[in-house]
């Protein structure tokens, strides 16, 4: 690198061109471009599934499982009993069947891929009927109609934005129809004068006409969030019981695992997805399979709310959050800032449970001179980076989304940031 910088300067001198800066500075700038930009941050925003911050943090067991299979070789596609080639899909299927009650399961690299694979393998060249109220767009411009177009399936819209009935689906079915599709509105709600058929009704219609029913439930909930003061969310196992032939969901939302798209359902439908050429293009790598398997094992052992970070955050009690926020405020005051504990609202985020939140307590800090933006920027640029939110001109730090084991690290970063904005 040093030789390259010197070569550039020699060339500039030979050409008589002006030298823009000192060679040492040029070398430092070039070295900075080689730094890895992806790094850990502390999420103190209170948004549990923060898409921009990587969504679900993994459990200790999932991280160790990734480390174990990445350290050396693994039986990713090798049958240890038979001594011959195996399938990477086999490592997850038993757990998926046990937890959802489905006949079979497959996991790919995200839920958009799972939907694309399902439509490509089960409905290409045929019609798929969907309610107009479910033609959703989620983050990054991902649109259901665009995915259907890429799959080669023909979109047939029925009903209206707010009201669709079973008869609308029935009237749209033709000899060219392959499936009915339901898509959960993961990150928004339509309220008021609304109507959508129950999944059982769609299943009865689909099977009466010899069609498939595909159900994209989005967030991947295997546990009911209502006991924690949240609203209802479609449970994967409920969709299977209601008659969906293929149920699609994410691995890194309410499931609390790595980024993945999971499909469970009828054996023949899942097998068609496995055999499709696209399955290879969207398959999971060994580390993601290991992490997803470890996450699913938490559910199988009945320990999800104590071991999976997303559910541990959801289940956190208000008293412990208040105690931690109080310690943070005391540390901020000791560093010369004005700080107090305030009631707050932690959000679920990540396209799950839209507008749903949990009562919480946060540490609210008034930056010296009212420079809340400057303090938030210092926190972001620290080591480690701390991501906060600003409300009413104050920096808020929500302990719900910070692992208690990292409190000392956060407080050190806070002291450093406060010292730099005095």
pLDDT of residue 406: 97
The answer to whether the peptide bond before residue 97 is cis (omega within 30 degrees of 0) is no
Q: What is the pLDDT of residues 350-365, one digit of tens each?
A: 777 777 889 999 999 9
Higher pLDDT, 195 or 176: 176
pLDDT of residue 111: 92
- Per-residue pLDDT band at 391 (split at 50, 70, 90): very high
CB burial string 105-122: b at 16+ within 10 A, e below: bbbbbbbbbbbbbbbbbb
Residue 379: pLDDT above 90? yes
Residues near 353 by Cβ (< 8 Å), separated by ≥ 6? 219, 225, 230, 231, 233, 254
Residue 366: pLDDT above 80? yes
> What domains does the chain contain, in order, with CATH numbers?
2-32 (no CATH), 41-52+312-420 (3.90.1150.180), 60-307 (3.40.640.10)
Residue 12: pLDDT above 90? no
Contact between 326 and 357 under an 8 Å Cβ cutoff? The reply is: no
Q: How far is CA 350 from the centre of its chain?
A: 6
> Residue 228 burial by CB count (10 A; 0-12/13-18/19+): exposed, middle or buried?
middle
Q: What is the mean pLDDT of residues 221-242?
A: 94
pLDDT of residue 370: 74
Give the chain's end-to-end CA distance (angstroms, integer).
38
pLDDT of residue 30: 62
Mean residue pLDDT of the chain comes to 91
Q: What is the mean pLDDT of residues 57-85?
A: 97
Percent of the chain with pLDDT over 90: 76
Whole-model pTM? Answer: 0.89
Task: State how far the alpha carbon of 8 is from the alpha carbons of 20, 31, 33, 268, in Å.
Answer: 11, 15, 17, 62
Q: What is the pLDDT of residues 98-119, one digit of tens each?
A: 999 999 999 999 999 999 999 9
Q: What is the pLDDT of residues 259-303, one digit of tens each?
A: 999 999 999 999 999 999 999 999 999 999 999 999 999 999 999
Question: What is the C-alpha separation between 397 and 401, in angstroms, rounded?
Answer: 9
Question: What is the C-alpha separation between 419 and 422, in angstroms, rounded?
Answer: 6
pLDDT of residue 185: 75
Contact between 132 and 160 under an 8 Å Cβ cutoff? The reply is: yes
What does the DSSP 8-state code read for residue 180? Answer: E
Q: What is the mean pLDDT of residues 310-314?
A: 97
pLDDT of residue 186: 64
Question: What is the C-alpha separation between 400 and 357, in angstroms, rounded?
Answer: 12
Nearest to 48 by CA among 402, 419, 322: 402
pLDDT of residue 192: 67
Q: What is the pLDDT of residues 238-258, one digit of tens each?
A: 999 999 999 999 999 999 999
Q: What is the pLDDT of residues 16-48, one digit of tens each?
A: 777 666 666 666 666 666 677 899 999 999 999
> Residue 227 burial by CB count (10 A; 0-12/13-18/19+): exposed, middle or buried?
exposed
Higher pLDDT, 136 or 210: 210
Q: Which residues pair with 396 in a beta bridge?
A: 364, 389
Q: What is the pLDDT of residues 146-181, one digit of tens each?
A: 888 889 999 999 998 888 999 999 999 999 999 999
H/E run at residue 112? helix 111-122
pLDDT of residue 29: 65
Q: What is the mean pLDDT of residues 406-418?
A: 96
Q: What is the mean pLDDT of residues 136-152?
A: 76
Q: Which residues pair with 261 in a beta bridge?
A: 108, 250
Residue 340: pLDDT above 90? yes
Q: What is the mean pLDDT of residues 216-222?
A: 92
pLDDT of residue 421: 79
Residue 327: pLDDT above 80? yes
Residue 1: pLDDT above 70? no
């Amino acid at each position: 690198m040093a030789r390259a910088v010197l070569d550039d300067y020699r060339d500039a001198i030979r050409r008589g061109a002006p030298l823009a800066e000192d060679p040492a500075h040029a070398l430092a700038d070039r070295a900075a471009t080689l730094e890895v930009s992806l790094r850990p941050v502390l999420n103190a925003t209170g948004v549990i599934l923060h898409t921009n911050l990587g969504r679900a943090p993994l459990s200790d067991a999932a991280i160790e499982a990734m480390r174990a299979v990445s350290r050396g070789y693994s039986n990713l596609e090798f049958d240890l009993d038979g001594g011959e080639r195996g399938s990477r899909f086999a490592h997850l299927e038993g757990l998926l069947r046990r937890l959802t009650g489905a006949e079979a399961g497959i996991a790919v690299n995200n839920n958009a891929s799972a939907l694309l694979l399902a439509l490509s393998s089960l409905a290409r060249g045929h019609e798929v009927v969907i309610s107009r109220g479910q033609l959703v767009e989620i983050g990054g411009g991902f649109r259901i109609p665009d995915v259907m177009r890429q799959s080669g399936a023909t979109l047939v819209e029925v009903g209206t934005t707010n009201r669709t009935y079973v008869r609308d689906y029935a009237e749209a079915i033709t000899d060219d129809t392959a499936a009915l599709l339901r898509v959960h509105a993961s990150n928004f709600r339509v309220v008021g004068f609304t109507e959508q058929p129950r999944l059982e009704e769609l299943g009865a219609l689909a099977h009466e006409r010899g069609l498939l029913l595909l159900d994209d439930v989005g967030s991947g909930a295997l546990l009911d969030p209502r006991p924690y003061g949240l609203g209802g969310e479609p449970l994967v196992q409920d969709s299977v019981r209601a008659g969906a032939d293929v149920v699609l969901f994410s691995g890194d939302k309410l499931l609390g695992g790595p980024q993945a798209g999971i499909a469970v359902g009828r054996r023949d439908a899942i097998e068609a997805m496995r055999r499709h050429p696209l399955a290879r293009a969207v398959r999971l790598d060994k580390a993601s399979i290991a992490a997803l398997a470890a996450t699913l094992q938490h559910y199988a052992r009945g320990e999800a709310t104590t071991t999976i970070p997303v559910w541990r955050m959801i289940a956190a009690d208000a008293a412990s959050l208040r105690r931690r926020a109080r310690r943070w405020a005391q540390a901020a005051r000791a560093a010369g800032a004005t700080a107090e504990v305030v009631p707050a609202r932690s959000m679920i985020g990540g396209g799950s449970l839209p507008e749903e939140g949990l009562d919480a307590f946060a540490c609210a800090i008034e930056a010296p001179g009212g420079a809340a933006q400057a303090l938030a920027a210092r926190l972001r640029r620290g080591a480690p980076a701390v991501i906060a939110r600003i409300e009413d001109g104050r920096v808020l730090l929500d302990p719900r989304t910070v692992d208690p084991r990292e409190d000392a690290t956060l407080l050190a970063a806070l002291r450093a940031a406060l010292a730099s904005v005095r």
